Chain A
Amino acid sequence: MKQRLFVTIVAIVVFLGMGGRAVLACGCGCGWICGQNRCEFTCSDCSLSEEISASATCCSQARDNTPCGLE
């Protein structure tokens, strides 16, 4: 419970520190930085289809303000 609270606080601090842009790290060696309507990403050691699938999922979740990877 305490650990979950700590992770949530860290996530909020990181999110605010990035000026409201979510930095995500969910699966497949990818990292996303999500802004208003666009998510930039870099991936390494993933297949193209894995990257596309992970990016589509991650970025749509970020739109709902529940960035995956920080949960």
Chain B
Amino acid sequence: MNIATRGRRRVIFVATGSICLLSVVGLTIAKKASSKQPQVLTQNNKDSLLKFVENSSDLPMRVAGNDDCPLRIMRAAMKEISGPDFSRLTGRTTDRVTVSSVPEVSLVNTSGETITGFILVVRDPQSRTTRGFVQEKVSVDPGSEYLVKREHFLEPERVTFANEQGVVSATKLPGLDSEKYWLGFAEPSDIFLTVGRVTFKNGRNWTIKEGGEVR
């Protein structure tokens, strides 16, 4: 066997080895990537999961810093789903064990004055992340109740669809299958709900004080 033949064999050996190695690496990466992809549900499966979540019982959300607030949180209810169910519903991956929804909140004006506005927040103090809304131009009389629906935390999404008139653009509120419906930034046990500011009819404000668990 001459030197040229031996050299050619070495090249073939190295090339074959490289191809095998690259294939193994490629397959490993592809497998890892596919395992991270959320499982795609059929429409029927998605509908039944949506129904299951809708019918699941509400859980109380932790309230903090509301004891001396003129707008007292009487009830704060959230839905809770597992991280894998969150991924199946929304198509978004998450490392969370569980994910909670934005809450439905019942508020009562315990002051002697009419309340015209407030700021409601859901916060994770560890990641310093907050989701909330500023409500203006309401009139909550002393002693009366104000119900905050989940939709109050959600801005409408612009959707485009086709019908007999052609392609139509409209706005709709995000549903349970939208990630906006869920508080994916923290585990449910880490977040708290509070009223950050209350505005009275005479223009005076009450603002929450930070300290302790309210931070």
Contact = CB atoms under 8 A, between A and B. Distances in A.
Interface of A: 18-19, 21, 32-33, 35, 37-49, 51-52, 55-56, 59-60, 63
Contacts of A48: 121, 123, 130, 196, 208, 210, 214-215
Interface residues of B, number: 29
B196 A52 contact: yes
A47 B128 CA distance: 7
Contacts of B134: 32, 38-39, 41, 55-56, 59
A49 B211 CA distance: 11
B136 interface: yes
A55 B169 CA distance: 30
A60 B197 CA distance: 14
B35 to A, nearest CB: 29
B152 A49 contact: no
B207 A52 contact: yes
A38 to B, nearest CB: 5
